[in-house]
A = this chain, B = another copy of it.
Amino acid sequence: MSDKVRVAIFGASGYAGEELLRLLLRHPNAEVVAITSRKNAGEPVEAVFPRFTHSRLTFIEPDVEKIARICDAAILALPHGLAAEYALPLLNAGIKVFDISADFRLKSEARYKQYYKVDHPAPYLLRKAVYGLPEIYRTKLKKANLVACAGCYPTSAILPTAPLLAAGVVKPKGIIISSSSGVTGAGRKVDLPYLFPECNESYKAYGVVGHRHLPEIEQEMALAAGMEDIAINFVPHLAPMNRCIESTIFMDAQPGCSTDVIAEVYKKAYGKEQFIRILPAGRTADTKYVFMTNICEIGFNYDKHTRKVIVNSAIDNLTKGAAGQAIQCMNIRFGLEESAGLL
């Protein structure tokens, strides 16, 4: 009856699920037809998220067969490993799948195993998945059946660096990324380190060596640079705030680099992107200006002293880093206005 895209959200009781609901419940061309949660099945949505009182939605069990009959698109906000299990039957039923987990982001099965410590549940799907970063893969996304939405940290790292690497303005060797995330980045996980008194007035690094988002960043940087492989450093930090990620990225400039050159590269790459905001040279990205938006803000500096290009990016980890990105990809796939539901 409806000509709206019918969306099912799998694993909707976490922070990404909450953000998906916030955005989709006011999306003009999409309709949420099912939300699943094993833990909360049977409960109305407002029992878990009191802000959605007017919604009539109720969490249900993740019965793929049943749900596949009533939806056009499935967004998977599930833990890695589990997402791949659900993706296969959904794809077989003809549903377009937008996976927010990490299951289909890496092209290399070996890398997946190295970082996630398990065999990949559906390795042949790795080749079919399109990486869900619309500003870079828009054309492919138009026909993708399985979209591996880019991770939160990777989005903040790849968007500001890919055009510079592709243009040869910076060297692909020795790139260093220092990122800071709000606490929702840890998920709605009930664990001591995420209690308010443990996080407040606390700032610290974690996953200094071998964080799971590292191979994803390296893969996309290598592709942008036209190289086989790139080795970088990526150090995430937990900051005392709810949402958003800031990434400060240090790259060696190639000869001829200048702020004008950088500005030009960004303009060419992103001048028409409505979800990317390039700041004037010398300014820095601030998480508060992307809070609860789908925008990636990018600032840049060139340090003559050390011949480094330093870029700062900011995104909302739950929006552009998760739910917003999935919806943006879905909009593209279904031929909707790319910004529908995201402004």
Flag if B235 contacts A205 (CB, 8 Å). Answer: no
User: Distance in Å from the Cβ of A71 to the closest Cβ of chain B?
Assistant: 23
Flag if A184 contacts B197 (CB, 8 Å). Answer: yes
Whole-angstrom distance between the alpha carbons of A285 and B205 in the complex? Answer: 7
Take A237-B180, A291-B201 as given contacts and tell me if A208 and B286 are in contact as well, using a CB distance cutoff of 8 Å: no
Flag if B180 contacts A284 (CB, 8 Å). Answer: no
- Interface-facing stretch out of A120-128, A220-228, A302-310: A302-310
Most buried by B among A201, A285, A286, A299: A201
Flag if A183 contacts B205 (CB, 8 Å). Answer: no
Name the interface residues of A119-142: CB closer than 8 Å to any CB of B.
none
Take A239-B180, A250-B176, A289-B50 as given contacts and tell me if A200 and B196 are in contact as well, using a CB distance cutoff of 8 Å: yes
Flag if B197 contacts A195 (CB, 8 Å). Answer: no
User: Distance in Å from the Cβ of A42 to the closest Cβ of chain B?
Assistant: 18
Protomer copies: 4
Flag if A204 contacts B312 (CB, 8 Å). Answer: yes
A108 CB within 8 Å of chain B: no
Contact partners of A303 in chain B: CB under 8 A: 208-210, 233
User: Distance in Å from the Cβ of A218 to the closest Cβ of chain B?
Assistant: 9
Contact partners of A312 in chain B: CB under 8 A: 204-205, 208
Whole-angstrom distance between the alpha carbons of A231 and B308 in the complex? Answer: 11
Take A174-B174, A176-B250 as given contacts and tell me if A239 and B196 are in contact as well, using a CB distance cutoff of 8 Å: no
Flag if A233 contacts B204 (CB, 8 Å). Answer: no
Flag if A200 contacts B242 (CB, 8 Å). Answer: yes
A219 CB within 8 Å of chain B: no
Whole-angstrom distance between the alpha carbons of A191 and B297 in the complex? Answer: 24
Flag if A285 contacts B204 (CB, 8 Å). Answer: yes
A15 CB within 8 Å of chain B: yes
Name the interface residues of A213-256: CB closer than 8 Å to any CB of B.
231-233, 235, 237, 239-244, 246, 248, 250
List 15 additional contacts besides A183-B195, A196-B196; criterion CB under 8 Å. A50-B289, A53-B277, A176-B176, A180-B180, A180-B203, A195-B196, A196-B200, A196-B240, A203-B287, A204-B246, A205-B284, A208-B312, A209-B301, A209-B303, A232-B306
